[in-house]
Structure 1
Amino acid sequence: MGNELSGKVAIVTGGASGIGRASVERFLEEGAQVVIADINRELGSTVAAALGSGVEFKQTDVSASGEVADLVAFTVARFGGLHIMFNNAGIPTAMRANFLDDELADFHRIMEVDLLGVMLGTQHAARHMAENGGGSIINTTSIGGIRAGTGELSYRAAKAGVIHFTKCAAIDLAHHGIRVNSIAPGAIVTSIVSTATAHLPDSAEATRRLREAMKSIRPLQQDGTATDIANAAVYYASDRSSYVTGTVLPVDGGIVAGHAMNTMAEIEKDQLAS
């Protein structure tokens, strides 16, 4: 436990579970007061009650501008300010093997939550921060927004949009003393993969195989955790990153850097054995 965020007030959207909850916990450990914003009222209220007096919950649909404005106003009224906005809330698309078979039924909701939600959170937080000495805005994207791939094209498109928006907002808001950065998780053990495969006959098996496939190409052969992302969020939220804006930080075990597959090693091994 430290004091990197002592005296600061933060909002974490999607803060009731997964990366969001881990980030709420880390922000608290570093001395911040935190508002959990989540669409799940029951879970959000339960988590806030469990974490103590430095936490409040505000039910929020991040795709609704009025609700996000109310969230910021609630935070300022409750804790006296807003210094950190972590736009983390996001939903996956149903993964398909073939784009030609994808009816894009969830496209609009994906864009509303994963991209528009980030834009609204940034805008409403920045309106307060611009009049109160600046602040730090952190947006959750994905390695799926950096690397091209198959299976979840709407999600990838939304997350790529988050990256470009983050860079544009960083330039636009810099003269207000507002820093805007993004974190790109990759292969983090949360419920997002099982949610994306929930439409399949055996979701558990599909999730297992997908996680195995991701691990097979990952340079670091360990599973990423929600706390790994939360630690990155603490860096961006703290004064350690006071000269950092407009960046994208992959937290992915090296997947964006390149595949771990060493084809020549396998060839040499096979030839020496023969």
Structure 2
Amino acid sequence: MADELQGKVTIVTGGASGIGRGIVERFVAEGATVVIADVQDELGEALAAQSGSNAVFHHTDVGDQDQIGDLVSTTVQRFGALDVMVNNAGISSPLRRGLFDEDLTEFDRVMRVNLLSVMAGTRDAGRYMAEHGGGSIINLSSIGGIQAGGGVPVYRASKAAILHFTKCAAIELAHYEIRVNCIAPGNIPTPILASSATGADRERLERFEARIRAQMREDRPLKRDGTPEDVAEAALYLATDRSRYVTGIVLPVEGGTVAGKIIARKTAPEGNGTPA
């Protein structure tokens, strides 16, 4: 399909790089007008310039809910509408040796950026949409919010909270024809994984990331790496009328990881490949 978002005005937070950039590029290709919200000014401005007249950059620190309010109001004032809100921006918490070594000094910052931004973005976009015929709100969580695991507990907690908040908001805002859904990506190569390592030089950081990526690949049923474009396709579905009867869902985009790990199989004596 083409031009599925023609005439739609969209905000993508954290849109300058990674998954956010993939969503911006896909939405622009489908005809949307996209406001790229990020603190990475150089990357954001470059992406907006590359995207032509259908994209603009707006410096936004999503950890400050006043700036989110300004983002929404500025978007509406400039373009006269807001049809789709993608709350994508997120950061990782530092990766420590174990829970006993966690000092939780990053708790407030991670929760502001990862969770407060989603709650404020949903609220502020919802206020406008409620008075203008509805819309679609898409919140980005992570498989780290679905599956328990060791390491980065603050990050995992923030992403788990997004899942529950999304469902609560979906129930409350359905009355206004506002759909609120959640995407939980996993195994997508972006800078956020490397940012969780602390105090490492580049070579150690690369080894760390390669080791984690290899473990992720081993654990998931689909062996190819996911891409930001894979997540963007899911976001496109949730943004369009194809999902007009879909709200309150959590859509994992992670190669089947949450379905379960692959179990080694034994072949029958006949060698026909039947699991023993």
Whole-Å separation in 1 of the counterparts to 2:175 and 2:212: 43
Q: Percent identity?
A: 55
**Is 1:159 the counterpart of 2:159 in the alignment?**
yes
Q: Aligned to 1:37, what secondary structure does the other structure show?
A: strand
From 205, 214, 221, give the equivalent of 2:207. Answer: 205
In the alignment, what sits opposite 2:274?
Answer: none
Shift of residue 97 of structure 1? 3.1
Which residue pairs with 1:124 in the alignment?
124
The ranges of structure 1 where at least 4 consecutive aligned residues each deviate by more than 2 angstroms after the TM superposition are 198-201
Q: Which of 231, 234, 238 is the matching residue for 1:232?
A: 234
Name the structure 2 match of 1:96: 96
Number of the residue aligned with 1:140: 140
SS in 1 for 2:258: coil
| Aligned with 2:248 (options 246, 249, 252) | 246
- Matches of residues 49-198 of structure 1 in structure 2 within 5 Å? 49-198=49-198
| Matches of 1:212 and 1:261, distance apart in 2 | 17
Q: Name the stretch that deviates more: 143-152 or 187-196.
A: 187-196
For the Cα contact (< 8 Å) 2:65–2:116, is it kept in 1? no
Structure 1 residue 191: Cα displacement:
1.0
RMSD: 1.5
C-alpha displacement of 1:265: 3.4
Residue 261 (structure 1) shift: 3.5
The separation in 2 between residues aligned to 1:40 and 1:147, in whole angstroms, is 30
For 1:93 and 1:50, the matched residues in 2 are separated by: 31
Q: Number of matched residues? A: 267
Structure 2 letter corresponding to 1:236: L
Q: What SS is found at the alignment partner of 1:260?
A: coil
Q: 1:258 aligns with which of 257, 260, 267?
A: 260
Find the aligned partners of 2:139 and 2:52 in 1 and give their Cα distance. Answer: 25
Distance 2:227 2:16 in 1: 16
Is the Cα contact below 8 Å between 1:185 and 1:250 reproduced in 2?
Answer: yes
SS in 2 for 1:136: strand
The answer to whether the 8 A contact 1:215-1:221 is kept is yes
Between stretches 37-46 and 229-238, larger displacement belongs to: 37-46
Contiguous gaps of at least 5 residues in structure 2: 272-276
Displacement of 1:75 in angstroms is: 0.9
- One-letter code aligned to 2:105: A
Per the TM alignment, residue 198 of structure 1 is displaced from its structure 2 partner at its CA by 4.3
**Equivalent residue number for residue 214 of structure 1:** 216
Code of the residue aligned with 2:249 in structure 1: it is T
Match of 1:272 in 2: none
* Structure 2 contact 11–37 (Cα < 8 Å) conserved: yes
Q: Tell me the CA shift for residue 44 of structure 1.
A: 1.2
TM-score by structure 1 length?
0.94
Deviations 1:18-72 (A, max 9, x none): 1101101100111110000001222211211121101111101112121111111
Contact 2:220–2:257 (CA under 8 A) maintained in structure 1: yes
Could you report, residue by residue, the CA deviation over 1:69-99 in whole angstroms, capped at 9, with x for unpaired residues? 1111111122110000000000011112311
Q: Is the 8 A contact 1:141 1:160 kept in 2?
A: yes
Partners of 2:159 and 2:55 lie apart in 1 by: 28
